[in-house]
Structure 1
Amino acid sequence: MIRRIIEDDQPIREVARGFGISERTARKWLARFRAEGLSGLDNRSSCPRTVANRTAEYWIGVIKMLRREYRLTADEIAGKLNLARSTLVAWLTGAAWVA
């Protein structure tokens, strides 16, 4: 695709249509190639680099303490800390939990 755009001087719109992608996606890949060369065309993870609403370390410590010392369920902890049950369940069942 990039070769057709750069070397063959074909219009981005036509090349994108030929590959079955949007013009916007073709321009994104072209910009990556121009900025990073061939390595810019490698597959990338789509997961975010940071999580804006990540549970603070303080709350994680409180959750651990309530779970270990008082043997509270996720529902009970959520009620006491006024946190979403889904947040607690995700945290308790995730890789971060160490019993």
Structure 2
Amino acid sequence: MEYFVPLVLVGAVIAAALFGIISWLRNRNIKVKWYEWLIGGAGFALLLLAIQHFFGAWEELFPFAALMGLAIIGIPALILMVIAWQLVTRRAKQT
């Protein structure tokens, strides 16, 4: 029960971010392919995993493990999200 409020807040932030991204794409009339959604979603899921690992390890008083997990999981997450962003922007510039 003690994790209910933080999880609701995380869910609300994710929903608001997804709504904002979709609204921004529709306003600019940018089409996104399914594999770009897949790459971006995988990157976002890895980023959430990295953040969860960081806070969990930090709470258990393992600061080195927290930072290493953030780096090992978070850097590939950011790379995947940048790849998805670049695919969308390069195709949008072509049209």
Do they superpose with TM above 0.5?
A: no
TM-score bracket for the superposition, by shorter chain length: under 0.3
TM-score (norm 2): 0.25
Q: TM-score, normalised by structure 1?
A: 0.25
Q: Name the one with the larger helix percent.
A: 2
Asked which structure has the greater RCO (Cα within 8 Å, sep 6+), the reply is: 2
